[in-house]
């Protein structure tokens, strides 16, 4: 699915997505990542499925200066156990869990408003990988 074209090339925004990728300013990313106003970071959960997420993954995110984290769990909603996301609460970072399409749209709106938002994208390995 394509999203509206970004008119400010200096701002990183989602321009499309699919079940196994996201497009950021037109560039395809097939691996899990964290997108913030500061840039794109390869996530420590690359190649892992949802069930393999640990508290350490959320501690890694909690080290960023964010007000809210959008967690994209693929094509369906799956909520991490609160014990895994405790570091976000301790860092006073709000958490919203959504599918990949909602994540892309919501991130673009919040980032466009100048909010301190991060988008944690989980791209799960294909079955059989």
Domain of 92, CATH number, reads 3.40.1230.10
How high is the pLDDT of residue 10? Answer: 80
Q: Is residue 35 part of a domain?
A: yes
Angle at 30 between CA 57 and CA 16, to 5 degrees: 105
Which strand ranges, in their side-by-side order, compose the sheet holding 39-42?
A: 39-42, 33-36, 117-121, 68-72, 94-98
Assess whether pLDDT exceeds 90 at residue 15: yes
Q: What is the pLDDT of residues 63-74, one digit of tens each?
A: 999 999 999 998
Can you tell me the mean pLDDT for 51-71?
Answer: 97
Q: Is the dihedral of CA 81, 120, 19, 8 positive or negative?
A: positive
As for how many domains the chain has, the answer is: 1
Q: Is residue 6 part of a domain?
A: no
Strand partners, 117: 68
Residues spanned by the domain of 93: 31-121
Q: Is residue 116 part of a domain?
A: yes
Q: What is the pLDDT of residues 80-112, one digit of tens each?
A: 999 999 999 999 999 999 999 999 999 999 999
The Cα–Cα gap between 129 and 120 comes to 22
């Amino acid at each position: 699915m394509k999203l509206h074209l970004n008119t400010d090339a200096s701002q990183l925004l989602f321009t499309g997505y699919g079940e196994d990728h996201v497009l950021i300013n037109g560039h395809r990313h097939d691996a899990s990542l964290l997108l913030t106003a500061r840039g794109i970071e390869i996530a420590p959960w690359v190649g892992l499925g949802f069930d393999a997420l640990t508290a350490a993954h959320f501690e890694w995110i909690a080290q960023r200066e964010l007000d809210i984290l959008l967690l994209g769990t693929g094509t369906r909603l799956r909520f991490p156990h609160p014990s895994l996301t405790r570091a976000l609460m301790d860092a006073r970072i709000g958490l919203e869990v959504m599918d990949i399409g909602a994540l892309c749209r919501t991130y673009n709106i919040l980032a466009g408003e100048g909010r301190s938002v991060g988008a944690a994208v989980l791209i799960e390995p294909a079955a059989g990988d």
